[in-house]
Amino acid sequence: MTVVRISDDALALACGADAVAHAFAQAGCEVERVSSWGMHWLEPVVEIDGTGFGPATPADVAAILAGTSDKAVGRIAEHPFIARQQRLTFARAGKTRPLSPDDYAATGGWTALGRTKTMSPAEVVAEVTRSGLRGRGGAGFPAGIKWQTVLNAAGSRKYVVCNADEGDSGTFADRMLMEGDPFQLIEGMAIAAHAVGAGQGYIYVRSEYPHAIAKLRAAIALADALIAPFRIEVRVGAGAYVCGEETSLLNSIEGKRGEVRAKPPLPAIEGLFGCPTVVNNVLTLAAIPHILAEGGASLYDSLGIDRSKGTMPIQLAGNIKRGGLFETAFGITLNELIHAIGGGTASGRPVKAVQVGGPLGAYIHPDQFDLPFDYEAYAGADALIGHGGVVVFDDAANMGALARFAFQFCAAESCGTCTPCRIGSTRGVELIDRIRRSQPAPDAVEALPQMHNARKAPRSREEDLALLEDLCETMQYGSLCALGGFTPYPVRSALKHWPEDFA
């Protein structure tokens, strides 16, 4: 009987994977539902004996089985998009059934946890520190230092919290891993729990990820005996962007409003329910089993450049011909990612800008596309790597409108705790509107503040631009969290590289 493998990833389902799977079953084939390869432009991808076909529809089934389909893409493992990657976190992608304990164990699953249980907590933390692993959620803080702080903190109860509130535009790696390889995340959390002495863990997932939530809950039930006495619970958020910030997330888990807490105290000292807490995102915790495998820390440290160690699952999205997940060591350039790997824009028009790091990441100009994908290099260019989302725009994009959207987004998503974010974002929208109008409309003049019953003259464009810079500085350095603090990145970069779009 012909074995056909089709993903049950949410993106594949949205593209009609269930209907394709049903058609193959009706044709007498054995259908296995596996994780996604991450070749999103080809979904639904059908694999038979290693050969891929896509994007497939039920009408293609007969031709695929007869060997006459024009949708064959060759052997998937040898496809340039896959062959050029260095996959560690996504080593099982496309190869295993997400909820099969046998598939997970047969591909090295649980070996790192078994080894960890023979080590002391301090030895585990030392290996994570030696690997050079940094948080994959945004700030890039060294994971080993965070774990060491929690290990050393006094407390009868400690927690491990996984931040799976993946809210950045153009990001989907967390969702892919939770839906395609949930046991890997569970194993990483169990190792973290052993390292810091935690008995309870929480995975905080946004409600927009129903397939991931279902997979995680099923996988936790299957792995319960293997990770005991550690326990994991899935908590579902309501989709507030600010809950991607760790203290807002902790408030939400506690049943409170998702508002940013002032720091200090740091969550590693006083986190969930006032106890020492490790808060890492999905990709950080999923990297742990590879690091704690025999020799894994040295392998991880050997990949990447400078202080950016290991691999990064980069998500290619937006106006790009071949969008999907591309995992590789740090150091790759945007030129290679966008053109050699992504194939340029889907529209066929020239690339105008690339936003890296979510809706609050800087817009990268094509002149900067040789910048290495590295935390320090991007920081030096006033940009962010963040969660590794890369969103491409062609030359039809208006960067003035996109800069305005950054302020608008911040205003909509602000938790309201701090003034620079709450008020600054709204004033930013108004200010960019004035700048882009060049000359204020009559009704805008009438609305200007009055002093001694005299109409005040409107500010000049140069004065408005200076005020915009002051506003950005206030938000960057005065906001309690990265929501307000990072909003200036897209605004400043758009104004610097595309001033003509603000005319």
Full set of structural domains in the chain with CATH = 3-83 (3.40.30.10), 101-302 (3.40.50.11540), 304-394 (3.10.20.600), 399-502 (1.20.1440.230)
Of all residues in the chain, the percent with pLDDT exceeding 70 is 96
Per-residue confidence at 446, pLDDT binned at 50, 70, 90?
very low
Two tokens, residue 103: 């598939």
Output the CA–CA distances (angstroms, integers) from residue 187 to 181, 191, 298, in the order listed. 11, 6, 20
Note the pLDDT of residue 455.
Answer: 54
In this structure, of 89-103, 135-149, 247-261, 347-361, the range with the lowest mean pLDDT score is 135-149
Q: Are 247 and 267 in contact (CB under 8 A)?
A: yes
Dihedrals φ, ψ of 141, to 5°? Answer: -75, 140
Q: Starting at the earlier edge strand, list the strands of the sheet with 30-34.
A: 30-34, 3-7, 46-48, 51-53, 72-75
Coarse DSSP helix, strand, coil percentages of the chain, rounded to the nearest 5 percent? 45, 15, 35
Cβ within 8 Å of residue 142, ≥6 positions away: 129, 132, 133, 134, 135
Q: What are the strands, taking DSSP E only, across 262-329?
A: 277-281, 304-305, 308-309, 311-318, 324-329
Q: How far does the chain reach from its first CA to its final CA, in angstroms?
A: 65
Q: How confident is the model at residue 462 (pLDDT cuts 50, 70, 90)?
A: confident
3 state DSSP class of 233:
strand
Q: Which tops the pLDDT comparison, 371 or 440?
A: 371
Q: Which two tokens stand for residue 325?
A: 């997940």
Residue 82, token pair as written in the block = 């896959």
Q: How far is CA 486 from the centre of its chain?
A: 16
- Provide the pairing of β-strand 159-164 with 30-34: unpaired
Say which range, 244-258, 392-406, 425-439, has the weakest mean pLDDT: 425-439
- Asked if residue 443 has pLDDT above 50, the reply is no
> Would you call 1 helix, strand, or coil by DSSP?
coil
Question: Smallest Cα–Cα separation from 390: which of 371, 409, 408?
Answer: 371
- Kindly state the helix (H) or strand (E) to which residue 53 belongs, with its residue range: strand 51-53
pLDDT reported for residue 262: 87
- Tell me how many degrees the CA angle 288-245-173 measures, rounded to the nearest 5: 45
Q: Residue 444 above 50 pLDDT? A: no
Tally of CB atoms within 10 A around 183: 27
Closest CA to 321 of 303, 345, 304: 345
What pLDDT shows up at residue 438? 60
Structure confidence by residue, pLDDT tens digits, 17-36: 999 999 999 999 999 999 99
pLDDT at 451: 41
pLDDT digits (tens, 9 = 90+) for 236-263: 998 888 988 999 999 999 999 999 998 8
CB contact set of 10 (below 8 Å; sequence gap of 6+): 175, 179, 209, 211, 212
What pTM was computed for the model? 0.92
Which amino acid belongs to residue 424?
G
* 186 Cβ contact partners less than 8 Å away, ≥ 6 residues apart: 219, 220, 223, 227, 232
CB contact at 8 A, 283 and 174? yes
The per-residue pLDDT for 440 is 44
Amino acid residing at 60: D
Exposure string for 33-58, b = 16+ CB within 10 A, e = fewer: bbbbbbbbbbbbbbbbeebbbbbbeb
Place of tokens 């999907």: 324
The strand pairing partners of 315, in sequence order, are: 325, 389
pLDDT at 437: 83
Which tokens in the block code for residue 247?
Answer: 């203290």
pLDDT more than 90, % of the chain:
79
Determine if the peptide bond prior to 265 is cis (ω within 30°).
Answer: yes
